[in-house]
Amino acid sequence: MPVKRRLELLKWASLKPGRYIIEDDHDSEFRYKGKPIPALQGMDTLDKVIYLGTFSRSIAPAIRVGYMVLPKELLQLYQTHVSYYSSTVSRVDQYILTRFINDGYFERHLNRIRTLYKNKHDLVIQSLKVFKDKIAIEGENAGLHLVVRFPTIDSEETILQISRSHGIRLYGLSRHYIMSEHKKESPAILLGYANLSEDSILKGIELLYENLKDLL
């Protein structure tokens, strides 16, 4: 989301009391093009953003550590009404993670895996060029997956069925739609690459093309 749009959202939140923006910033560490865009919470001067994050992407899902940064007004309400809640993450794990961050290891770790994921990201983009102008790629500047649209194919389910029959695991974008009108858009898939080897990426996209090219 560009900075201009972020400022518009913050302005909207400031117009009425009780308006807050929930920012789920789960993989902002992985941006591959352009300068890093600040989080809404970092741009917020009026305490209107509830900031959520996790270490599942940046370290490992098994660590099971997430966090929430609340505006001061909401923090007081949280302490008043939810003070009985106890974190399910062991204190030892929290202490280890704290040291990992404070001693600079987390930053070095991020730099290393950001380079690793960028190489995979670039390989995916390059490999998809085999489809030429028959697809549209969205969301390719950041994160650990991208959206690939197939304007010339009739349905998303067709793509998923063909890919499954050849051992390619894909996820349709429509499962994430809230508004029904979005279902009228061209079929699209979520293409993740974080856990794939470079060889698997090359073979998977080549196989996908071979089995979809007659429908393009």
Cβ contact 89:65 at 8 Å: yes
Angle at 183 between CA 121 and CA 192, to 5 degrees: 15
Q: Cα separation of 157 and 73, whole Å? A: 46
pLDDT at 30: 85
- Write down the domain spans for the chain: 3-86, 114-215
The domain defined by 3-86 carries CATH number 3.40.50.720: no
CATH of domain 114-215: 3.90.1150.10
Q: pLDDT for 48-67, tens place per residue?
A: 999 999 998 888 888 889 99
Give percent of the chain with pLDDT exceeding 90.
Answer: 64
Q: Say yes or no: do domains 3-86 and 114-215 share a fold.
A: no
**Residue 35 pLDDT > 90:** no
Question: Which tops the pLDDT comparison, 69 or 63?
Answer: 69
Q: pLDDT for 3-28, tens place per residue?
A: 899 999 999 999 999 999 999 987 77
pTM: 0.79
